[in-house]
Every structure is written in structure tokens, then in C-alpha cells.
């Protein structure tokens, strides 16, 4: 997550090395959450001037998760003087169910609050100030940060799946080795042939072998 102290002289937005395909500004929908009324929202005015599409503006502490499920925005921007625990909980739900780039403009500089924002998937957290001239750059950074985070999450899930599949294969090999009096390599070769002959993945075949072996073992007890 990028944290910017907007009140510091020379503060700048630095983009990540990773690049992604961004939608044209007119196609990007933004869900805006503020403490201000619709007529007073300087942030909404700035977004419209930059040709972004604000799908809806809601008051801070509304049910964000439900609204995100309904509107499916491309970006969520929150501008508030006080980020609440309720909002953080809603952001955690969004991160699990329908993750998206999240930008927070907040006056609070509490480390615990920033840490909580990182955990729930906030892409950019800007402290003490909103600067319209930097808005487009902030949105670009948030989108890229989000893409990087999603890539890491996907890689982690793939790694977990691979490890789980390896354990399944090892268990199946163990059953085959014990039942057929085979070596480890012979058992693995047999499992691969079963997978090829049946047009199934190796993991699927191994799960079937484990299920059948455990069923037979249960009947022998």
C-alpha cells in the first residue's frame, strides 16, 4: 500500500514498475464515500472534471460491502475525517468477496489505523489533504498496486494448491505401494497411466485411489 503525507512539502506519487491495461477514464466507474453532501463534494467535482464516472456517492459508514456487490465499481474512494472500525470491517468483506482498488483520504495518522487499512486491502492511504491535481496519478497508482497485490494472492493460492495436490499424490502412491508391493516410481507410473487412460487429472485419480483405499481399510476393521 502506498501512504502519502499530503501535507509534506514535495510529497509526490510514485508509480510501481508493474503496468496494467487501464480502462479509459470514461469507462471506469467509481463508488465515492464521503462525509460531505453531494453538493459539497469537492472530490466528486474533481473526478467529473477528469472524465471519471461516479456511479454513486454515499455517506461514510453506509453499508459499503452491499453497495459494492450491487454496483460492482472499478474503484472505491473514501474521503473522511475519521475512518471507523465499521468501515474497516466492510472493507475486509469487500476484499474477500469482490476485491477492487481502494483509495482512502483520511485526516488520521494513527499507525494502528494504517496497519488495519493495509490488512483489508487498501491500495493508497493519503493523510491530511486532498489535491485535485494529483487525483489521476493517485488512481493510476491504486490500480497498479491492486493488480500487484492480486497477482501475489493468485500466486500464493496456486502454491497452496500445488502443495495440497502433492500431498494427495504422495498419499495415493503410499496406498498403491502397500497394496501392489510396488516401488515409489512404479506406483507413480501406474497413477499417471490411470489418469491418461481415464482422461482425468492426476490429482483426481489420486483422490479416487485414496477414497477407495480408505473405504476398503474401513471394511477390514
Which grid cell is 153?
Answer: 494472492
Q: Do domains 2-147 and 155-220 have the same CATH topology?
A: no
Reported confidence tier of residue 128, pLDDT bands at 50, 70, 90? confident
Query: What one-character DSSP code corresponds to residue 121?
Result: T
Q: Are 129 and 7 in contact (CB under 8 A)?
A: yes
Residue 22 has what pLDDT? 53
For domain 155-220, the CATH architecture is Orthogonal Bundle (1.10)
Mean pLDDT, rounded, of the chain: 85
User: 81-105, pLDDT tens digit by residue?
Assistant: 888 889 999 999 999 999 999 999 9
Domain limits of the chain? Answer: 2-147, 155-220
Q: What angle do CA 63, 67, 71 make, to 5 degrees?
A: 170
Least confident window among 9-18, 97-106, 108-117, 146-155: 9-18
Residue 13 has what pLDDT? 38
Is it the case that residue 109 has pLDDT exceeding 90? no
Least confident window among 10-19, 80-89, 181-190: 10-19
Name the CATH topology of 2-147.
Answer: Rossmann fold (3.40.50)
User: 45-62, pLDDT tens digit by residue?
Assistant: 899 999 899 888 888 666
Residue 6 has what pLDDT? 47
Q: What angle do CA 210, 172, 170 make, to 5 degrees?
A: 135
Amino acid at each position: 500500500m502506498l501512504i502519502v503525507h499530503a501535507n509534506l512539502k514535495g510529497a509526490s506519487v510514485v508509480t510501481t514498475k508493474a503496468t496494467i491495461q487501464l480502462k479509459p477514464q470514461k469507462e471506469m466507474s467509481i463508488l465515492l464515500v464521503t462525509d460531505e453532501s453531494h453538493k459539497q463534494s469537492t472530490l466528486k467535482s474533481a473526478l467529473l472534471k477528469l472524465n471519471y464516472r461516479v456511479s454513486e456517492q454515499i455517506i461514510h459508514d453506509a453499508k459499503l460491502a452491499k453497495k459494492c456487490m450491487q454496483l460492482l465499481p472499478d474503484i472505491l474512494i473514501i474521503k473522511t475525517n475519521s475512518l471507523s472500525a465499521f468501515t474497516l470491517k466492510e472493507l475486509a468483506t469487500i476484499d474477500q468477496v469482490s476485491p477492487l482498488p481502494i483509495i482512502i483520504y483520511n485526516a488520521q495518522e494513527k499507525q494502528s489505523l494504517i496497519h488495519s487499512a493495509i490488512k483489508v486491502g487498501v491500495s493508497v492511504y493519503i493523510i491530511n489533504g486532498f489535491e485535485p491535481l494529483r487525483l489521476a496519478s493517485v488512481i493510476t497508482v491504486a490500480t497498479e498496486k491492486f493488480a500487484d497485490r492480486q497477482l501475489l494472492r493468485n500466486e500464493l493460492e496456486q502454491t497452496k494448491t500445488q502443495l495440497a495436490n502433492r500431498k494427495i499424490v504422495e498419499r495415493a502412491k503410499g496406498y498403491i505401494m502397500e497394496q501392489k508391493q510396488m516401488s515409489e516410481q512404479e506406483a507413480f507410473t501406474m497413477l499417471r497411466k490411470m489418469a491418461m487412460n481415464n482422461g482425468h487429472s492426476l490429482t483426481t485419480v489420486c483422490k479416487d485411489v485414496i477414497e477407495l483405499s480408505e473405504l476398503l481399510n474401513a471394511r477390514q476393521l
